[in-house]
Chain A
Amino acid sequence: MIERYNLFLREFSPEMSKELQLFSIIAQSFFQPFSLMDNLLVIMTALTAGPGLGFNRAMLFLADKDSLKGEFWLGPASPEEAESIWRVLSTPGIGYAEIIEHNRSLLTSDAETLTKRVKKLAYPIDKNESLIPALTASARQIVLVRDAPNEPLVDKRFVETIGAEEFLCIPLVSQKEVLGEIILDNAITKAPIQSRDIELASICGLIASNYIYTARLQRRIVDMKKEAAMGEMAMFITHQLRNPLVTIGGFADQLLNPKTPERKKRRNIQIIRSEIRRLEKILLRLSQFLKVDTREKVVVDVQDVLNLVRETLRPRIAGRRIILDIEIEAGLRIVRCDPTSLGEALRNILDNAVDAVGHDGRIEIRAYRENAERAVIAVHDTGPGIPDAIRDKIFDSFVSTKEKGMGLGLAYVKRVVDTCGGRIEVKSAEGEGTTFKLYFQTSPREGGAQS
Protein backbone atom coordinates (compact mmCIF):
# COMPACT_ATOMS: atom_id res chain seq x y z
CA MET A 1 0.00 0.00 0.00
CA ILE A 2 1.16 3.45 -0.76
CA GLU A 3 0.08 6.89 0.32
CA ARG A 4 0.47 9.88 -1.93
CA TYR A 5 1.02 13.50 -0.98
CA ASN A 6 1.37 16.68 -2.93
CA LEU A 7 4.89 17.97 -3.40
CA PHE A 8 3.67 21.50 -2.75
CA LEU A 9 1.52 22.02 0.31
CA ARG A 10 -1.25 24.43 -0.52
CA GLU A 11 -3.27 24.22 2.69
CA PHE A 12 -1.80 23.79 6.13
CA SER A 13 -3.54 21.78 8.80
CA PRO A 14 -4.06 23.63 12.08
CA GLU A 15 -1.96 21.03 13.91
CA MET A 16 1.05 21.62 11.70
CA SER A 17 3.71 23.45 13.65
CA LYS A 18 4.52 27.06 12.89
CA GLU A 19 8.09 26.06 12.03
CA LEU A 20 7.09 23.46 9.48
CA GLN A 21 4.63 25.81 7.82
CA LEU A 22 7.21 28.54 7.62
CA PHE A 23 9.91 26.39 6.09
CA SER A 24 7.67 24.67 3.61
CA ILE A 25 6.68 28.10 2.31
CA ILE A 26 10.28 29.22 2.02
CA ALA A 27 11.39 25.93 0.50
CA GLN A 28 8.73 26.29 -2.19
CA SER A 29 10.18 29.63 -3.18
CA PHE A 30 13.18 27.73 -4.53
CA PHE A 31 10.96 26.43 -7.31
CA GLN A 32 10.31 29.89 -8.64
CA PRO A 33 12.60 31.36 -11.24
CA PHE A 34 15.38 33.04 -9.34
CA SER A 35 14.60 36.66 -8.64
CA LEU A 36 16.27 38.05 -5.55
CA MET A 37 13.50 40.49 -4.66
CA ASP A 38 10.77 37.86 -5.12
CA ASN A 39 12.58 35.33 -2.99
CA LEU A 40 13.22 37.88 -0.25
CA LEU A 41 9.58 38.85 -0.44
CA VAL A 42 8.59 35.23 0.21
CA ILE A 43 10.77 35.08 3.31
CA MET A 44 9.56 38.43 4.60
CA THR A 45 5.96 37.42 3.96
CA ALA A 46 6.49 34.13 5.76
CA LEU A 47 7.86 36.09 8.72
CA THR A 48 4.79 38.30 8.92
CA ALA A 49 1.77 36.49 7.54
CA GLY A 50 -0.57 34.99 10.15
CA PRO A 51 -0.03 31.20 9.94
CA GLY A 52 3.74 31.64 9.61
CA LEU A 53 5.88 33.13 12.28
CA GLY A 54 3.42 35.90 12.87
CA PHE A 55 5.54 38.95 13.49
CA ASN A 56 3.40 42.03 12.85
CA ARG A 57 5.88 43.75 10.59
CA ALA A 58 9.16 43.04 8.82
CA MET A 59 11.61 45.62 7.54
CA LEU A 60 14.41 44.85 5.09
CA PHE A 61 17.68 46.70 4.62
CA LEU A 62 20.16 45.76 1.90
CA ALA A 63 23.82 46.70 1.88
CA ASP A 64 24.70 48.95 -1.01
CA LYS A 65 28.41 49.72 -1.15
CA ASP A 66 29.16 50.94 2.40
CA SER A 67 25.71 51.61 3.71
CA LEU A 68 22.52 49.88 4.76
CA LYS A 69 19.64 51.13 2.67
CA GLY A 70 15.96 50.64 3.46
CA GLU A 71 14.42 48.35 0.82
CA PHE A 72 10.89 47.47 1.96
CA TRP A 73 8.71 47.15 5.03
CA LEU A 74 5.80 44.73 5.19
CA GLY A 75 2.86 44.88 7.54
CA PRO A 76 0.18 47.32 8.64
CA ALA A 77 0.95 50.92 9.59
CA SER A 78 -1.78 51.20 12.26
CA PRO A 79 -4.15 48.99 14.29
CA GLU A 80 -7.02 50.01 11.99
CA GLU A 81 -5.12 49.01 8.89
CA ALA A 82 -4.07 45.82 10.64
CA GLU A 83 -7.66 44.92 11.37
CA SER A 84 -8.77 45.41 7.78
CA ILE A 85 -5.80 43.56 6.30
CA TRP A 86 -6.05 40.66 8.72
CA ARG A 87 -9.74 40.34 8.06
CA VAL A 88 -9.10 39.99 4.36
CA LEU A 89 -6.29 37.58 4.94
CA SER A 90 -8.36 35.29 7.11
CA THR A 91 -10.98 34.92 4.37
CA PRO A 92 -11.16 31.28 3.27
CA GLY A 93 -9.36 30.74 -0.01
CA ILE A 94 -6.76 33.40 0.64
CA GLY A 95 -3.44 31.63 0.90
CA TYR A 96 0.21 32.49 0.81
CA ALA A 97 0.26 33.05 -2.93
CA GLU A 98 -2.35 35.80 -2.54
CA ILE A 99 -0.59 37.37 0.43
CA ILE A 100 2.70 37.43 -1.42
CA GLU A 101 0.97 38.94 -4.45
CA HIS A 102 -0.61 41.58 -2.19
CA ASN A 103 2.77 42.40 -0.66
CA ARG A 104 4.37 42.58 -4.08
CA SER A 105 1.78 45.13 -5.20
CA LEU A 106 2.51 47.22 -2.09
CA LEU A 107 6.19 47.49 -3.04
CA THR A 108 5.42 49.33 -6.24
CA SER A 109 2.34 51.19 -4.97
CA ASP A 110 2.22 54.98 -5.01
CA ALA A 111 0.26 55.10 -1.76
CA GLU A 112 1.81 56.18 1.53
CA THR A 113 3.04 52.71 2.44
CA LEU A 114 5.48 51.71 5.15
CA THR A 115 7.96 50.94 2.38
CA LYS A 116 7.97 54.62 1.39
CA ARG A 117 9.11 55.49 4.92
CA VAL A 118 11.85 52.91 5.14
CA LYS A 119 13.23 53.82 1.72
CA LYS A 120 14.31 57.15 3.21
CA LEU A 121 16.59 55.40 5.68
CA ALA A 122 20.29 54.79 5.10
CA TYR A 123 23.02 54.03 7.63
CA PRO A 124 26.75 53.77 6.99
CA ILE A 125 28.16 50.33 7.76
CA ASP A 126 31.22 51.17 9.70
CA LYS A 127 32.97 49.42 12.55
CA ASN A 128 32.91 52.75 14.40
CA GLU A 129 29.19 53.20 13.89
CA SER A 130 27.80 52.76 17.37
CA LEU A 131 24.06 52.94 16.77
CA ILE A 132 21.39 50.35 15.96
CA PRO A 133 20.44 49.32 13.27
CA ALA A 134 23.91 49.64 11.63
CA LEU A 135 25.63 48.45 14.80
CA THR A 136 23.91 45.04 14.70
CA ALA A 137 24.99 44.47 11.09
CA SER A 138 28.62 45.43 11.56
CA ALA A 139 28.83 43.53 14.86
CA ARG A 140 27.15 40.52 13.16
CA GLN A 141 24.93 39.98 16.17
CA ILE A 142 21.22 39.36 16.59
CA VAL A 143 19.90 42.03 18.94
CA LEU A 144 16.54 42.24 20.67
CA VAL A 145 15.77 45.84 21.67
CA ARG A 146 13.30 45.95 24.55
CA ASP A 147 12.77 49.62 25.35
CA ALA A 148 13.77 51.47 22.20
CA PRO A 149 12.87 55.08 23.21
CA ASN A 150 15.13 54.81 26.27
CA GLU A 151 17.91 52.80 24.69
CA PRO A 152 20.92 55.05 23.95
CA LEU A 153 22.32 52.51 21.43
CA VAL A 154 19.37 52.97 19.04
CA ASP A 155 19.41 55.77 16.48
CA LYS A 156 16.72 58.32 17.47
CA ARG A 157 15.42 58.78 13.95
CA PHE A 158 15.04 55.02 13.66
CA VAL A 159 12.99 54.91 16.87
CA GLU A 160 10.67 57.55 15.44
CA THR A 161 10.28 55.67 12.17
CA ILE A 162 9.59 52.23 13.60
CA GLY A 163 7.41 53.53 16.41
CA ALA A 164 7.68 50.25 18.34
CA GLU A 165 9.24 49.81 21.76
CA GLU A 166 10.39 46.27 21.10
CA PHE A 167 12.03 45.01 17.93
CA LEU A 168 14.37 42.30 16.74
CA CYS A 169 17.41 42.94 14.53
CA ILE A 170 18.68 40.05 12.38
CA PRO A 171 21.89 40.91 10.51
CA LEU A 172 22.28 39.38 7.03
CA VAL A 173 25.92 38.54 6.47
CA SER A 174 28.23 36.33 4.46
CA GLN A 175 31.63 35.17 5.68
CA LYS A 176 33.24 38.40 4.65
CA GLU A 177 30.67 41.08 4.10
CA VAL A 178 27.52 42.64 5.47
CA LEU A 179 24.63 41.94 3.07
CA GLY A 180 21.72 43.58 4.89
CA GLU A 181 19.47 43.39 7.91
CA ILE A 182 15.93 42.33 8.79
CA ILE A 183 14.06 44.12 11.58
CA LEU A 184 10.93 42.55 13.02
CA ASP A 185 8.37 43.90 15.48
CA ASN A 186 4.95 43.37 17.00
CA ALA A 187 3.98 47.04 17.08
CA ILE A 188 0.27 46.33 16.60
CA THR A 189 -0.45 43.38 18.88
CA LYS A 190 2.30 44.33 21.36
CA ALA A 191 2.95 40.60 21.81
CA PRO A 192 6.38 40.11 23.39
CA ILE A 193 8.99 38.53 21.13
CA GLN A 194 9.80 35.02 22.41
CA SER A 195 13.13 33.24 22.23
CA ARG A 196 11.61 30.63 19.89
CA ASP A 197 10.56 33.42 17.49
CA ILE A 198 14.14 34.68 17.58
CA GLU A 199 15.54 31.25 16.70
CA LEU A 200 13.18 30.84 13.77
CA ALA A 201 13.76 34.37 12.54
CA SER A 202 17.51 33.83 12.66
CA ILE A 203 17.20 30.79 10.37
CA CYS A 204 15.12 32.90 7.99
CA GLY A 205 17.92 35.45 8.16
CA LEU A 206 20.45 32.80 7.11
CA ILE A 207 18.29 31.78 4.16
CA ALA A 208 17.87 35.42 3.11
CA SER A 209 21.64 35.90 3.40
CA ASN A 210 22.15 32.92 1.15
CA TYR A 211 19.78 34.37 -1.44
CA ILE A 212 21.54 37.73 -1.45
CA TYR A 213 24.98 36.16 -1.56
CA THR A 214 23.98 33.89 -4.47
CA ALA A 215 22.53 36.84 -6.36
CA ARG A 216 25.76 38.77 -5.86
CA LEU A 217 27.86 35.86 -7.08
CA GLN A 218 25.62 35.51 -10.12
CA ARG A 219 26.00 39.19 -10.91
CA ARG A 220 29.76 38.94 -10.51
CA ILE A 221 29.92 35.99 -12.92
CA VAL A 222 27.89 37.89 -15.50
CA ASP A 223 30.20 40.91 -15.09
CA MET A 224 33.28 38.73 -15.42
CA LYS A 225 31.94 37.07 -18.55
CA LYS A 226 31.19 40.49 -20.00
CA GLU A 227 34.67 41.73 -19.12
CA ALA A 228 36.30 38.67 -20.63
CA ALA A 229 34.27 39.08 -23.80
CA MET A 230 35.15 42.78 -23.91
CA GLY A 231 38.83 42.00 -23.43
CA GLU A 232 38.77 39.47 -26.22
CA MET A 233 36.90 41.90 -28.42
CA ALA A 234 39.35 44.72 -27.69
CA MET A 235 42.33 42.49 -28.44
CA PHE A 236 40.73 41.32 -31.66
CA ILE A 237 39.87 44.82 -32.84
CA THR A 238 43.40 45.98 -32.06
CA HIS A 239 44.81 43.24 -34.23
CA GLN A 240 42.29 43.65 -37.02
CA LEU A 241 42.92 47.38 -37.24
CA ARG A 242 46.65 47.30 -36.62
CA ASN A 243 47.62 45.18 -39.62
CA PRO A 244 45.94 47.37 -42.26
CA LEU A 245 47.11 50.51 -40.48
CA VAL A 246 50.72 49.34 -40.40
CA THR A 247 50.48 48.46 -44.09
CA ILE A 248 48.95 51.83 -45.00
CA GLY A 249 51.52 53.70 -42.90
CA GLY A 250 54.46 51.81 -44.34
CA PHE A 251 53.48 52.25 -47.97
CA ALA A 252 52.53 55.89 -47.39
CA ASP A 253 56.05 56.51 -46.05
CA GLN A 254 57.46 55.06 -49.28
CA LEU A 255 55.26 57.49 -51.25
CA LEU A 256 56.87 60.40 -49.45
CA ASN A 257 60.34 59.24 -50.41
CA PRO A 258 61.36 61.21 -53.56
CA LYS A 259 63.49 58.28 -54.76
CA THR A 260 60.51 55.94 -55.06
CA PRO A 261 59.81 55.36 -58.77
CA GLU A 262 56.49 56.41 -60.27
CA ARG A 263 55.35 52.86 -61.00
CA LYS A 264 55.87 51.79 -57.42
CA LYS A 265 53.99 54.85 -56.16
CA ARG A 266 50.95 53.83 -58.18
CA ARG A 267 51.19 50.31 -56.79
CA ASN A 268 51.40 51.71 -53.25
CA ILE A 269 48.27 53.78 -53.76
CA GLN A 270 46.43 50.64 -54.92
CA ILE A 271 47.59 48.78 -51.82
CA ILE A 272 46.59 51.65 -49.54
CA ARG A 273 43.18 51.80 -51.18
CA SER A 274 42.57 48.10 -50.76
CA GLU A 275 43.63 48.23 -47.10
CA ILE A 276 41.25 51.13 -46.49
CA ARG A 277 38.43 49.09 -48.03
CA ARG A 278 39.37 46.28 -45.72
CA LEU A 279 39.17 48.63 -42.73
CA GLU A 280 35.73 49.72 -43.86
CA LYS A 281 34.61 46.11 -44.11
CA ILE A 282 35.93 45.38 -40.63
CA LEU A 283 33.99 48.30 -39.17
CA LEU A 284 30.84 47.27 -41.00
CA ARG A 285 31.03 43.71 -39.71
CA LEU A 286 31.78 44.85 -36.19
CA SER A 287 28.84 47.21 -36.10
CA GLN A 288 26.61 44.47 -37.52
CA PHE A 289 27.88 42.13 -34.81
CA LEU A 290 27.21 44.62 -32.04
CA LYS A 291 23.75 45.65 -33.25
CA VAL A 292 21.95 42.31 -32.90
CA ASP A 293 20.69 42.88 -29.35
CA THR A 294 19.04 46.18 -30.05
CA ARG A 295 16.86 45.17 -32.97
CA GLU A 296 13.15 44.66 -32.46
CA LYS A 297 11.81 41.11 -32.29
CA VAL A 298 8.80 40.31 -34.48
CA VAL A 299 7.14 37.32 -36.13
CA VAL A 300 9.21 36.38 -39.16
CA ASP A 301 8.08 34.56 -42.29
CA VAL A 302 10.86 32.12 -43.15
CA GLN A 303 9.97 32.03 -46.85
CA ASP A 304 10.33 35.82 -47.16
CA VAL A 305 13.71 35.84 -45.47
CA LEU A 306 15.08 32.91 -47.48
CA ASN A 307 13.87 34.42 -50.76
CA LEU A 308 15.84 37.58 -50.03
CA VAL A 309 18.90 35.62 -48.97
CA ARG A 310 18.75 33.60 -52.19
CA GLU A 311 18.67 36.82 -54.22
CA THR A 312 21.74 38.26 -52.51
CA LEU A 313 23.55 34.94 -52.91
CA ARG A 314 22.88 34.65 -56.66
CA PRO A 315 25.90 36.70 -57.85
CA ARG A 316 28.22 34.64 -55.65
CA ILE A 317 27.28 31.29 -57.17
CA ALA A 318 26.88 32.58 -60.74
CA GLY A 319 29.30 30.80 -63.04
CA ARG A 320 29.86 27.88 -60.65
CA ARG A 321 28.32 24.46 -60.84
CA ILE A 322 26.56 24.73 -57.51
CA ILE A 323 23.07 23.30 -57.15
CA LEU A 324 21.04 25.32 -54.66
CA ASP A 325 18.11 23.17 -53.54
CA ILE A 326 15.58 24.93 -51.32
CA GLU A 327 12.41 23.49 -49.75
CA ILE A 328 10.40 25.59 -47.35
CA GLU A 329 7.20 24.53 -45.61
CA ALA A 330 4.51 27.03 -46.59
CA GLY A 331 3.53 29.55 -43.93
CA LEU A 332 6.42 28.65 -41.64
CA ARG A 333 6.97 31.40 -39.11
CA ILE A 334 9.43 32.11 -36.35
CA VAL A 335 8.33 34.10 -33.34
CA ARG A 336 10.45 36.78 -31.65
CA CYS A 337 13.17 37.30 -34.20
CA ASP A 338 14.57 40.14 -36.26
CA PRO A 339 14.28 39.37 -40.01
CA THR A 340 17.36 41.44 -40.97
CA SER A 341 19.59 39.69 -38.43
CA LEU A 342 18.17 36.29 -39.37
CA GLY A 343 18.81 37.00 -43.06
CA GLU A 344 22.38 38.07 -42.35
CA ALA A 345 22.92 34.98 -40.20
CA LEU A 346 21.65 32.64 -42.93
CA ARG A 347 23.73 34.49 -45.47
CA ASN A 348 26.81 33.85 -43.32
CA ILE A 349 26.06 30.13 -43.17
CA LEU A 350 25.46 30.03 -46.93
CA ASP A 351 28.64 32.00 -47.64
CA ASN A 352 30.58 29.37 -45.70
CA ALA A 353 28.72 26.65 -47.60
CA VAL A 354 29.67 28.23 -50.95
CA ASP A 355 33.30 28.52 -49.82
CA ALA A 356 33.16 24.89 -48.71
CA VAL A 357 31.79 23.40 -51.94
CA GLY A 358 34.03 25.58 -54.12
CA HIS A 359 33.00 25.36 -57.78
CA ASP A 360 31.20 22.11 -57.84
CA GLY A 361 28.67 20.81 -55.38
CA ARG A 362 25.31 20.98 -53.77
CA ILE A 363 23.77 23.15 -51.07
CA GLU A 364 20.44 22.10 -49.57
CA ILE A 365 18.21 24.33 -47.49
CA ARG A 366 15.27 22.81 -45.66
CA ALA A 367 12.87 24.79 -43.50
CA TYR A 368 10.12 22.91 -41.74
CA ARG A 369 8.06 22.56 -38.63
CA GLU A 370 9.41 19.84 -36.36
CA ASN A 371 6.53 19.96 -33.89
CA ALA A 372 3.92 22.42 -32.64
CA GLU A 373 6.52 24.70 -31.06
CA ARG A 374 9.66 24.16 -33.04
CA ALA A 375 10.77 25.28 -36.50
CA VAL A 376 13.99 24.07 -38.09
CA ILE A 377 16.13 25.68 -40.76
CA ALA A 378 18.77 23.24 -41.98
CA VAL A 379 21.61 24.03 -44.37
CA HIS A 380 23.66 21.16 -45.79
CA ASP A 381 26.67 21.42 -48.06
CA THR A 382 28.72 18.78 -49.84
CA GLY A 383 32.02 20.47 -49.01
CA PRO A 384 35.01 18.85 -47.30
CA GLY A 385 33.60 19.25 -43.77
CA ILE A 386 34.94 21.17 -40.79
CA PRO A 387 38.37 20.03 -39.59
CA ASP A 388 38.21 18.12 -36.29
CA ALA A 389 40.65 20.50 -34.63
CA ILE A 390 38.34 23.48 -34.76
CA ARG A 391 34.89 21.90 -34.66
CA ASP A 392 34.35 22.79 -31.00
CA LYS A 393 35.41 26.36 -31.54
CA ILE A 394 33.52 27.41 -34.66
CA PHE A 395 30.95 29.47 -32.79
CA ASP A 396 33.53 31.33 -30.71
CA SER A 397 34.19 34.85 -31.86
CA PHE A 398 37.40 35.46 -33.70
CA VAL A 399 38.13 31.88 -34.76
CA SER A 400 38.62 31.55 -38.48
CA THR A 401 40.11 29.17 -41.00
CA LYS A 402 40.18 31.81 -43.67
CA GLU A 403 43.29 33.84 -44.29
CA LYS A 404 41.51 37.15 -44.00
CA GLY A 405 38.61 35.83 -41.94
CA MET A 406 37.58 37.77 -38.88
CA GLY A 407 35.95 34.79 -37.25
CA LEU A 408 32.74 36.72 -36.81
CA GLY A 409 30.47 34.88 -39.27
CA LEU A 410 29.36 31.93 -37.16
CA ALA A 411 29.72 33.83 -33.90
CA TYR A 412 27.20 36.22 -35.42
CA VAL A 413 24.88 33.34 -36.35
CA LYS A 414 25.02 32.06 -32.78
CA ARG A 415 24.32 35.52 -31.41
CA VAL A 416 21.27 35.92 -33.62
CA VAL A 417 19.94 32.45 -32.76
CA ASP A 418 20.52 33.12 -29.04
CA THR A 419 18.69 36.43 -29.09
CA CYS A 420 15.70 34.71 -30.76
CA GLY A 421 15.68 32.09 -28.00
CA GLY A 422 16.77 29.40 -30.46
CA ARG A 423 19.49 26.79 -30.63
CA ILE A 424 22.07 25.76 -33.19
CA GLU A 425 23.58 22.39 -34.02
CA VAL A 426 26.28 21.38 -36.44
CA LYS A 427 27.07 17.98 -37.90
CA SER A 428 30.19 17.70 -39.92
CA ALA A 429 32.58 14.96 -40.86
CA GLU A 430 35.63 15.40 -43.00
CA GLY A 431 34.63 14.21 -46.45
CA GLU A 432 30.90 14.12 -45.73
CA GLY A 433 30.00 17.76 -45.80
CA THR A 434 28.46 19.95 -43.15
CA THR A 435 24.91 20.43 -41.87
CA PHE A 436 23.86 23.38 -39.74
CA LYS A 437 20.51 23.04 -38.00
CA LEU A 438 18.90 26.12 -36.51
CA TYR A 439 15.99 25.57 -34.13
CA PHE A 440 13.52 28.36 -33.43
CA GLN A 441 10.21 28.81 -31.70
CA THR A 442 7.36 28.81 -34.17
CA SER A 443 3.84 30.19 -33.98
CA PRO A 444 0.70 28.03 -34.23
CA ARG A 445 -0.02 26.82 -37.78
CA GLU A 446 -3.18 28.81 -38.39
CA GLY A 447 -2.65 31.40 -35.70
CA GLY A 448 -2.44 35.11 -36.26
CA ALA A 449 0.60 37.24 -35.66
CA GLN A 450 2.13 37.15 -32.23
CA SER A 451 4.94 39.17 -30.91
Chain B
Amino acid sequence: MKKRLLIVEDEKNLCLLYREELTKAGYRVTAVTDAEAALERMKKQKFDLIITDIRMPGKNGIELITQIMAMRKDIPIIINTAYQSYKHDFMTWAADAYIVKSASLDELKAKIKELVG
Protein backbone atom coordinates (compact mmCIF):
# COMPACT_ATOMS: atom_id res chain seq x y z
CA MET B 1 0.00 0.00 0.00
CA LYS B 2 1.17 3.51 -0.77
CA LYS B 3 2.61 5.47 2.14
CA ARG B 4 0.78 8.64 3.15
CA LEU B 5 2.77 11.87 3.46
CA LEU B 6 1.57 15.15 4.95
CA ILE B 7 3.42 18.23 3.70
CA VAL B 8 3.18 21.58 5.51
CA GLU B 9 4.57 24.39 3.34
CA ASP B 10 3.31 27.97 3.23
CA GLU B 11 4.65 28.74 -0.25
CA LYS B 12 1.86 27.69 -2.61
CA ASN B 13 4.11 26.99 -5.58
CA LEU B 14 6.49 24.91 -3.52
CA CYS B 15 3.52 23.05 -2.08
CA LEU B 16 2.43 22.23 -5.61
CA LEU B 17 5.93 21.13 -6.63
CA TYR B 18 6.33 18.80 -3.65
CA ARG B 19 2.89 17.31 -4.17
CA GLU B 20 3.56 16.56 -7.83
CA GLU B 21 7.07 15.24 -7.40
CA LEU B 22 6.35 13.05 -4.39
CA THR B 23 3.18 11.69 -5.98
CA LYS B 24 5.32 10.78 -8.99
CA ALA B 25 7.74 9.07 -6.59
CA GLY B 26 4.92 6.77 -5.50
CA TYR B 27 3.43 8.35 -2.37
CA ARG B 28 -0.06 9.50 -1.47
CA VAL B 29 0.50 13.15 -0.74
CA THR B 30 -1.57 15.66 1.21
CA ALA B 31 -0.22 19.21 1.11
CA VAL B 32 -1.41 22.04 3.36
CA THR B 33 -0.16 25.62 3.74
CA ASP B 34 -0.30 26.11 7.51
CA ALA B 35 0.12 24.31 10.81
CA GLU B 36 -3.54 24.54 11.88
CA ALA B 37 -4.66 22.83 8.66
CA ALA B 38 -2.04 20.14 9.26
CA LEU B 39 -3.38 19.40 12.76
CA GLU B 40 -6.96 19.26 11.42
CA ARG B 41 -5.91 16.75 8.76
CA MET B 42 -4.08 14.63 11.29
CA LYS B 43 -7.24 14.27 13.35
CA LYS B 44 -9.09 12.84 10.34
CA GLN B 45 -6.39 10.73 8.78
CA LYS B 46 -3.42 8.57 9.66
CA PHE B 47 -0.16 9.64 8.03
CA ASP B 48 3.12 7.74 7.82
CA LEU B 49 5.35 10.82 7.67
CA ILE B 50 5.14 14.58 8.20
CA ILE B 51 7.29 17.05 6.24
CA THR B 52 7.15 20.58 7.59
CA ASP B 53 8.64 24.02 7.01
CA ILE B 54 9.56 26.09 10.08
CA ARG B 55 8.89 29.73 9.30
CA MET B 56 5.24 30.04 8.41
CA PRO B 57 2.58 32.63 9.15
CA GLY B 58 0.55 31.68 12.20
CA LYS B 59 1.83 28.69 14.12
CA ASN B 60 5.42 27.90 13.17
CA GLY B 61 6.91 24.49 12.41
CA ILE B 62 8.49 24.04 15.81
CA GLU B 63 5.18 24.60 17.60
CA LEU B 64 3.62 22.17 15.15
CA ILE B 65 6.22 19.50 15.91
CA THR B 66 5.60 19.91 19.65
CA GLN B 67 1.88 19.37 19.16
CA ILE B 68 2.33 16.43 16.80
CA MET B 69 4.58 14.74 19.32
CA ALA B 70 1.94 15.18 21.98
CA MET B 71 -0.63 13.55 19.66
CA ARG B 72 1.46 10.79 18.12
CA LYS B 73 4.94 10.14 19.39
CA ASP B 74 5.84 7.52 16.80
CA ILE B 75 5.28 9.49 13.60
CA PRO B 76 8.50 10.38 11.74
CA ILE B 77 9.00 14.09 10.99
CA ILE B 78 11.24 15.76 8.42
CA ILE B 79 11.99 19.46 8.75
CA ASN B 80 12.33 21.03 5.33
CA THR B 81 13.37 24.68 5.59
CA ALA B 82 15.29 27.43 3.82
CA TYR B 83 17.22 28.14 7.03
CA GLN B 84 20.43 26.44 8.08
CA SER B 85 20.35 28.13 11.44
CA TYR B 86 17.36 26.39 13.02
CA LYS B 87 19.52 23.30 13.23
CA HIS B 88 20.83 24.79 16.48
CA ASP B 89 17.32 25.08 17.87
CA PHE B 90 16.91 22.38 20.46
CA MET B 91 13.34 21.52 19.41
CA THR B 92 14.40 20.66 15.87
CA TRP B 93 16.36 17.74 17.35
CA ALA B 94 13.02 16.08 17.99
CA ALA B 95 12.55 15.70 14.23
CA ASP B 96 14.00 12.68 12.46
CA ALA B 97 15.70 14.70 9.78
CA TYR B 98 16.59 18.31 9.00
CA ILE B 99 16.82 19.19 5.34
CA VAL B 100 17.73 22.56 3.91
CA LYS B 101 15.54 23.24 0.87
CA SER B 102 17.23 22.68 -2.44
CA ALA B 103 16.16 22.81 -6.07
CA SER B 104 17.03 19.12 -6.28
CA LEU B 105 14.54 16.97 -4.38
CA ASP B 106 16.93 14.01 -4.28
CA GLU B 107 17.94 14.48 -0.65
CA LEU B 108 14.32 14.83 0.44
CA LYS B 109 13.24 11.76 -1.52
CA ALA B 110 16.14 9.70 -0.15
CA LYS B 111 15.26 10.68 3.41
CA ILE B 112 11.58 9.80 2.92
CA LYS B 113 12.60 6.42 1.51
CA GLU B 114 14.89 5.83 4.46
CA LEU B 115 12.18 6.67 7.01
CA VAL B 116 9.05 5.05 5.54
CA GLY B 117 10.21 3.06 2.54
A-side residues, CB < 8 A to B, are 235, 238-239, 242-243, 245-254, 271, 274-275, 401-403
Interface residues of B in 6-41 (CB under 8 A from A): 10-11, 13-14, 16-17, 20-21
**CB of B55 closer than 8 Å to a CB of A:** yes
Min Cβ gap A244→B in Å is 8
Given A238-B82, A250-B103, A254-B20: A243 in contact with B57 (beta carbons within 8 A): no
Asked if B83 and A243 sit within 8 Å, CB to CB, the answer is no
Min Cβ gap B108→A in Å is 10
B-side residues, CB < 8 A to A, are 10-11, 13-14, 16-17, 20-21, 55, 57, 82-85, 100-105
Q: Which chain B residues lie closer than 8 Å to A252 at the CB level?
A: 103
> Closest residue to A242 on the B side, CB-wise?
B82
What number of residue pairs across chains A and B have CB atoms under 8 A from each other?
51
Asked if A271 and B13 sit within 8 Å, CB to CB, the answer is yes
Other CB < 8 Å A-B pairs besides A243-B11, A247-B13, A271-B16, 17 of them?
A: A242-B82, A242-B101, A243-B82, A245-B103, A246-B14, A246-B17, A246-B82, A246-B103, A247-B14, A249-B102, A250-B21, A250-B105, A253-B103, A253-B104, A254-B20, A274-B13, A401-B57
> Closest residue to A274 on the B side, CB-wise?
B13
Min Cβ gap B34→A in Å is 10
Q: Which chain B residues lie closer than 8 Å to A239 at the CB level?
A: 55, 82-83
Asked if A246 and B20 sit within 8 Å, CB to CB, the answer is no
Min Cβ gap A119→B in Å is 46
Q: Which chain B residues lie closer than 8 Å to A254 at the CB level?
A: 17, 20-21
Give the complex CA separation of A214 and B17 in angstroms: 55
Give the complex CA separation of A207 and B84 in angstroms: 46
Q: Which chain B residues lie closer than 8 Å to A238 at the CB level?
A: 82-84
**11 sampled A-B residue pairs with Cβ under 8 A:** A238-B83, A239-B55, A239-B83, A242-B82, A246-B101, A247-B14, A249-B104, A253-B103, A254-B21, A275-B13, A403-B57
Give the complex CA separation of A252 and B17 in angstroms: 11
Q: Which chain A residues lie closer than 8 Å to B11 at the CB level?
A: 243, 247
